[in-house]
Amino acid sequence: MEDPRRRIPRTDHLLALPAVRAAAESLSLPVVRGLVRGIQDRARRGEIAPAAVESEVIAAVSARRASSLSPVLNATGVVVHTNLGRAPLSDAARQALAQAAGYVDVELDLATGTRSGRGAAARAALLAACPAAEDALVVNNGAAALVLATTALAAGAEVVVGRGELIEIGAGFRLPDLIASTGARLHEVGTTNRTYPADYAAALGAVTGCVLKVHPSNFRVSGFTAEATITELSGLCREHGVPLVADLGSGLLAPDPVLPEEPDAAGALAAGADLVIASGDKLLGGPQAGLLLGRAELIARLARHPLARAVRADKLTLAALEATLTGGEPPVARALHADPAELRRRAEALAAALRETLPDGPAGDRPGEIGSSAIEVVAHDGRVGGGGGAGVPLPGWAVALPVAAAGPLRTGTPAVLPRVHEGRCLLDLRCIPDSDDARVLAAALSALAGLGAPGTNGAPGTDGAGEPA
């Protein structure tokens, strides 16, 4: 009896298939060969019939993309969603990325044909957006900006910081550990809840490299509290000839009325900070970047430090940052300032379109089927996210679906990330362009149609991103 494995198509035959050859134009040959061999191995193990190998190979290479990252529609209401890559870029920034993907004059003066300063245009755009700064420097992320500043200003010396500002940032990284890695020594002052200018004054001395003021953006301490302001600390630092560094974190360059308690770079510099640190991919709405703004002498000192080369921003970041600052309103700003009445109108339209496809009442006739009355529009507060505006509600509305719809929404095409809260799956359209409302509707219809299938339940008690609601 013939071994059925002999009927498995040969590798060269499968690679010669028109659909496979077409896929090889966007995928590397090793990737295509790996897909082919994986399916041949499945056939050898008897998981699929030899006759099905060709169709399986064609389906596999057609579905495979060069990047495994999947586009996601953010229906959580969290504007700067760390798990989704923080700020979505503006159209201008996306176009700039595409242009910068080839050869660009990132360090070349085309008029003279000689080398020029790296990222000069992005730096100029930053200074135009924050005139209070004498100079600016862009590095690859906010943590790198802090490491560069403390290394250049305080390696082998002390960094004076309030005890209540020794925060932990994302993924378990702690500010004290970052500073210690630079060779600087932490000099903690005050207590967790109350720190005064006198505490800093007592700590300043010959071994002080800088004073660090950190905005505790991802939590709040309330009640019996006190803190030294930038204005108060700037006088002390000038008296002792010590630079004052303000790590703002979230990246506001100017005040925003939606976030009245969120510090901004212009305000911090006006209050007397010598150097301000912020992130580019949070409230600024740009690419991942660390922004350093402040006194020209300090910026030059940081730019000359050898570590600056290790943390410098690449051409894609510089292009996207400049376009974010000079182009149209970024999606983050639009989402922060979204009109609650317009959000309600969109939510009502989405809910009405969903109800039209469902039977009347709370449930249908078939097991697992739901009825139109199970679709509700509910008040829902969005959040800033990304460590900005801790506890600040962004009033809005959401469409409530059965919690079992969360799984199919996340794994569908397009992928839609809802918020799962109090036993319901919530679709908040704040962070979704209205041009994508039809795609959300199609995804929700598909998810609701498959609710009777096993293994489609959501994860009650989370916000849809694996974080506690």
The string of pLDDT tens digits covering residues 389-399 is: 888 999 999 99
Domain boundary among 328, 362, 396: 328
Residues 186 and 302 in one domain: yes
Per-residue pLDDT band for 219 (boundaries 50, 70, 90) equals: confident
Angle CA 195–200–202, to nearest 5 = 120
Cα–Cα distance between 275 and 91 in angstroms, integer?
A: 31
The string of pLDDT tens digits covering residues 286-306 is: 999 999 999 999 999 999 999
pTM strictly above 0.75: yes
Residue 306: Cβ-neighbour burial (10 angstroms; 0-12, 13-18, 19+): exposed
Residues 357 and 425 in one domain: yes
The string of pLDDT tens digits covering residues 102-112 is: 999 999 999 99
212 neighbors 160 (Cβ within 8 angstroms): yes
Residue 350, classed as helix, strand or coil, is helix
Residues 337 and 317 in one domain: no
> Where residue 433 sits, what CATH number does that domain have?
3.90.1150.180
Domain boundary among 284, 309, 328: 328
Q: Is residue 393 part of a domain?
A: yes
Q: Is residue 455 part of a domain?
A: no
Q: What is the pLDDT of residue 458?
A: 43
Helices 29-44 & 53-63, crossing angle to 10 degrees? 140
Helix (H), strand (E) at residue 209: strand 208-214
Per-residue pLDDT band for 362 (boundaries 50, 70, 90) equals: low
415 neighbors 406 (Cβ within 8 angstroms): no
Q: Is residue 465 part of a domain?
A: no
- For range 454-461, the mean pLDDT: 41
Amino acid present at 174: R
Q: Is residue 459 part of a domain?
A: no
Least confident range of 22-36, 73-87, 300-314, 402-416:
22-36
- For range 140-155, the mean pLDDT: 96
Residue 101, classed as helix, strand or coil, is coil
Handedness of CA 216, 317, 76, 459 (dihedral sign): negative
Residues of the chain above pLDDT 70, percent: 93
Per-residue pLDDT band for 211 (boundaries 50, 70, 90) equals: very high
Per-residue pLDDT band for 363 (boundaries 50, 70, 90) equals: low
Q: Is residue 203 part of a domain?
A: yes
Domain, as residue range, for 404: 72-81+333-449
Residues 423 and 310 in one domain: no
Residues 98 and 230 in one domain: yes
The string of pLDDT tens digits covering residues 256-278 is: 999 998 999 999 999 999 999 99
Q: What is the pLDDT of residue 367?
A: 42
Residues 138 and 227 in one domain: yes
Number of domains the chain contains: 3
Q: What is the pLDDT of residue 468?
A: 33
pLDDT of 366 > 90? The answer is no
Both ends of the chain: CA-CA distance in Å?
61
- For range 135-154, the mean pLDDT: 96
The partner residues of 174 in beta bridges, in order of sequence, read: 168
Q: What is the pLDDT of residue 464?
A: 44
Residues 41 and 132 in one domain: no
* Structure tokens given for 224: 């019996």
Return mean pLDDT, the chain.
91
Per-residue pLDDT band for 459 (boundaries 50, 70, 90) equals: very low
Residues 430 and 297 in one domain: no
The string of pLDDT tens digits covering residues 378-390 is: 999 999 998 888 8
Residues 174 and 246 in one domain: yes
Q: Is residue 466 part of a domain?
A: no
Least confident range of 123-127, 219-223, 297-301, 348-352:
219-223
Alpha-carbon 62 to chain mean position? 29
Residue 7, classed as helix, strand or coil, is helix
Domain boundary among 328, 357, 373: 328
Q: Is residue 461 part of a domain?
A: no
Residues 313 and 380 in one domain: no
Cα–Cα distance between 286 and 323 in angstroms, integer?
A: 9
Residues 183 and 271 in one domain: yes
Q: Is residue 469 part of a domain?
A: no
> Where residue 162 sits, what CATH number does that domain have?
3.40.640.10
Q: What is the pLDDT of residue 431?
A: 98
392 neighbors 384 (Cβ within 8 angstroms): yes
Number of CB atoms found within 10 A of residue 31's CB: 15
pLDDT of 128 > 50? The answer is yes
Residues 320 and 340 in one domain: no
Helix (H), strand (E) at residue 56: helix 53-63
Least confident range of 114-128, 345-359, 391-405, 442-456:
442-456
pLDDT of 77 > 60? The answer is yes
209 neighbors 150 (Cβ within 8 angstroms): yes
